[in-house]
Chains A and B, each alone.
Chain A
Amino acid sequence: AQSVAQPEDQVNVAEGNPLTVKCTYSVSGNPYLFWYVQYPNRGLQFLLKYITGDNLVKGSYGFEAEFNKSQTSFHLKKPSALVSDSALYFCAVRDGGSQGNLIFGKGTKLSVKP
């Protein structure tokens, strides 16, 4: 069975500092990994994905994520946080052997203070 874990309910960062939002996964086949962001009262928006290839994936709004197969992790990162990055972030995984369903983590609330 596939699963994804986001160990932190909330991450607090000062504006201008680097941020990391953690995600670990478990799949039986090849992992296909995604990050989404949700702003208040909005639907989820796609940020970036890892399918294959380079372990460092770049996405929207200056975000990037690093795929680490040995640690089964896919942490989201940004070198310099903005107050406008404050939102709920979801990691999601698809199992290569599945129908294509996305399994979402519980979400991590990112709070960036000025």
Chain B
Amino acid sequence: DARVTQTPRHKVTEMGQEVTMRCQPILGHNTVFWYRQTMMQGLELLAYFRNRAPLDDSGMPKDRFSAEMPDATLATLKIQPSEPRDSAVYFCASGSGIPLYNEQFFGPGTRLTVL
């Protein structure tokens, strides 16, 4: 049963610290998405990769957030320095084929709390 995995599942950190979240997309999937979910804003797209190349990161605060895909099996989202307003659940999702038509498969999320 292929699944998207995310680590860590929970992270509590102090303001100013660096946070790294990792995602392993489903093997063979060529698109990876990072979303942030909060009660106030709902689901927001942060970044979108296709074949490891960033296609859209317009939803990401550039001064503190960065997203990369070092290889096809790993996507990372970093926040440096973290702030309390970054507290949210961060989801990674992957997909294959034609992105327009196909569904995304979501990981379980990383719940981030910045004190």
Residues of A within 8 A of B (CB): 32, 34, 36, 41-46, 49, 51, 90, 94, 96, 98-107
Contacts and interface: CB of A to CB of B under 8 A. Distances in A.
27 contacts: A32-B100, A34-B103, A41-B108, A43-B91, A43-B93, A43-B109, A44-B91, A44-B104, A44-B106, A46-B105, A49-B101, A49-B103, A94-B99, A94-B100, A96-B100, A100-B31, A100-B48, A100-B98, A100-B99, A100-B100, A102-B33, A102-B45, A103-B45, A104-B42, A104-B43, A105-B42, A107-B43
Interface of B: 4, 31, 33, 42-43, 45, 48, 50, 55-56, 91, 93, 98-101, 103-109
A101 B48 contact: yes
A102 B101 contact: no
User: In terms of DSSP, what is the predominant structure of the interface of chain B?
Assistant: strand
Interchain residue pairs A-B with the least CB separation, the first 3: A100-B99, A43-B106, A46-B103
Given A43-B91, A101-B56, A102-B33, 9 more contacts: A34-B103, A42-B108, A43-B4, A43-B109, A90-B43, A99-B56, A100-B48, A104-B43, A105-B42
B55 A51 contact: no
B66 to A, nearest CB: 19
Contact of B101 (A51, A98, A103, A106): A51
A100 B99 CA distance: 5
A3 to B, nearest CB: 12
Contacts of A90: 43
Contacts, number: 54
A88 to B, nearest CB: 10
A32 B56 contact: no
B26 to A, nearest CB: 12
Contact of B106 (A45, A96, A99, A103): A45
A94 B101 CA distance: 9
A107 to B, nearest CB: 6
A105 B61 CA distance: 21
Given A43-B91, A44-B91, A101 B45 contact: yes
A101 B42 CA distance: 16
